[in-house]
Structure formats: C-alpha cells, structure tokens
Structure 1
Amino acid sequence: MHQHSRILLIEDDHGLAIGICEYLLEQGVRISHVPDARSALQCTEHFDLILCDIMLPDENGVALLPQLHQRWSCPILFLTALCSAQDQIAGLEAGAADYLCKPIDPSLLLAKIRSCLRANQRLLQPSRQIELHDLVIDFALNQARLAGKPLQLTSLEFDILCFFITRPGHIVSRELLFQHLVGREYDGLCRAIDIRISRLRKHLEQLEVQGLSIITVRGQGYLFNYLPAATPG
C-alpha cells in the first residue's frame, strides 16, 4: 500500500467505525470517518479509497455512489449487512470496486483495500504530478523537487507539502491540516503538526529560495506560497 494513501470511511455504526479505524491506523493506514452522506460530501480532503455503508441514515449508499465518484476519482468499496446476491450485484453494477459483507475479518478488509489501491494505482498516469512554478510534487516517484533538485523530506513533511501545494496563497487551518494528516478531529492540545510544520519551514528556509515560505497566521492557521522573482526579460 502506498504510504501516502488516504481512506474515507462512511459508517453510521459508531462502534464498528471506531474498531475499523483503530485497526487500520495500527496497520499504518490513514483513515477519516464520517457518519452519514451529508458529512461525506462536505469533506474537502483528497481520498484514494472510500469505504461506504449502504444503509446510511440520510441516504442509500448505492444512490450516493455517483456523487462520491463525481467528487473523488477513487475506488469505492461497499461495507454492508445487505449480503444477498441481488444486493451485491446491484452494488457492483452501480460502480463499486468491491462489495464486502458485515461482519468482515479485519485482515481480509485490509487485503481488499490494498488490492483495490494497487489496481487503481496501475490505472493512474505514471507521471502524475503537481507543479507550482519549478516546485514539483511527483507522485510516481514519491518525491518533491525544486528546480529539478530532489528535496530530502520525511514522509510527513512530504505529506504536508503536498497538502500545501494544492492550496497556494490560501490559509489552511490547523484543524483541517490535523484531520487530513492524522485522521481525526483536532483536540486543541496536540502540537505534533506545529512541530512538523516548523521543521519543514526551517528546511525550506535553508534552501534560501526567494518567495518560498510558510507563514503562521495567528488564530487562523498557515499560509503557504511560492512566488519566485520574475526573470528579467
């Protein structure tokens, strides 16, 4: 499984959701949980795979599927107690990547997730990357480059930079960043993200690249931008 993969679990059974999240987190999987369709559609993060219950309190999962596919181009696995052959056929024909019946063995769930992520990765363009001037995030190589030179970043620093580079010039709240990177709501106490951002900021400052910065906006969050000086014409 790609170390930067991110999963969304849409499940209204709180106890089951906690169990799944705890198990997958122990396996190194980054996962976020929401209890219903409305909350899922309000998510702004990038996800590489979605686990979705069918019997949600505000929407049928099969009916929700097209909206999820419209927002995220990733595999969607149904995880549900509706396990008749007809239910499974309907789910798969609607476009689900797989259909898992509750209760499911956690190790089998993990294997299914890994299988879907591998299959989806093969479908992605091998050169998929994000560019901001000469700062490049290369997902195929799992690498950040500045002016063609690879940056020596830790896994978490890479994740933070990936998150920032898709939002240049916009203030990113600590809460949103924490939820994206840690997979749970910010408790107002943990300073782990602040420490990592401070280290990433120092790393970027050591490069002495004009216009590349991470600024702390008091009471709001962080502002990342890269505005290199214009080359004289």
Structure 2
Amino acid sequence: MFTGIIESVGKVKSMQPTGGDIRLTIESNDLDFSDVKLGDSIASNGICLTVVEFGSNHYSVDVSRETIARTALETLKPGHIVNLEKAMLPTTRFGGHIVAGHVDGVGVVSKIQQDARSIYIEIEIPQELAHYTATKGSITIDGISLTTNLVRDNIVSLNIIPHTAQVTNIAKHWLVGNKVNIEVDIVARYLERLLNKSQTGGMNAPSPQSQITEAFLADNGFMK
C-alpha cells in the first residue's frame, strides 16, 4: 500500500527482455535504500513492483506481460525519469490518499499550459474509468496523488504546483501526447461493488450500470 507522495525520482538504467518479460533496473541517488530488502514493494511510476535485486543506489524488478500490457511501462527508455515510493509503514504520515499501486489504465496528456506559478494539465483517461473520478476528488497519475480540478466526460484537469513539478517526473516527461499510468480512487471502486451487490442481491449476479456518479458522491459526503 502507498500514499501517492513521491519519495524521490529515479532513472531507468536498463530494460532487459527476459523470456518474454522484462527485467527493469532503476537507479536513484536520492531514495533511501538502507531498509530495502528482497521482496519489498516499490511503486515505480505508480506500478507496485517487487524488488528481486538491489544495491546501494539501484534496484531491479521483473515485469510480467500482464503489467506491460496494462501500463505505460513499455514507453520507458533508459534515462527516463520515474517516480518512486516505497511501501508505506503503519507509522507513515498519510499525506496523500490510499494507493494500491495497481494501475487501472493508461491516460494521455492532452493539454499543458502555464497558469500563474502552477502548470495546468489535462489528461484524457480511458472512458471506462471516467465514472470513478470526481471533481475535487483524488486520482493517482504516474504514482502521484493528485486532486482533480474538474472532470469533463473523460478529461481530467489538474493544477500542478511548482514543488510537485520539481520533485516528480512531471517537468521532464509530461508532454502533450505522452502516456501516463492511471489508478482511480480505490474507495470509488469498493463503493460501486457494494452498491451493485445491494441492488442485485449477490456478488455473482450481473453488474448493472454503475451508480457511482458525481451527484452520488456529493450527496453522501465524499465531496464538498
């Protein structure tokens, strides 16, 4: 489990094809490796990956074909900057929101412009994920916990403050047309599941059209 508060950035050192999968190695001089162990989880651009080898300033993970197919990982190249967050501890300050590190889909940066000292960005997300998002709600993009300005159909708009841009990969790798990893708010997913169960009378019945809307979230105290 993660919070979406990026601890440091790293650089892709290598992407080695291995029997149809990929062995990804990321190096970082800023991430604290003192407590890293084999089998630990590190969110890399929002993807929860398992450490299979590490050193004083790098770690390696094996990436399955399923993960490659469902994320923007295949767009990475050696030298690309990625956002890093180690799994949270019970004593961790919870500064973001609940992030599982399970990417739901891939979005595309569709607009970037300066807005005073912040950066205004629009992201086009998959249509099937749009109903899990809400204006002033939480969304994870490339592992970063962000608050949406507005959700318009399947376009999510954001304002990125200078600090966030500087300590993540946004300033260097979020360009119009670039792909980014999207994880919707896990609370919205469970709300939908529970609501569908109550309406259909069981977990195995066919799911009706989602009832999770912006109005529903507002009426039930999830939005101001």
State if a TM-score over 0.5 links the two structures.
no
Larger fraction in helix = 1
Larger radius of gyration: 1
Question: Structure with the greater relative contact order (CA < 8 A, sep ≥ 6): 1 or 2?
Answer: 2
Larger fraction in strand = 2
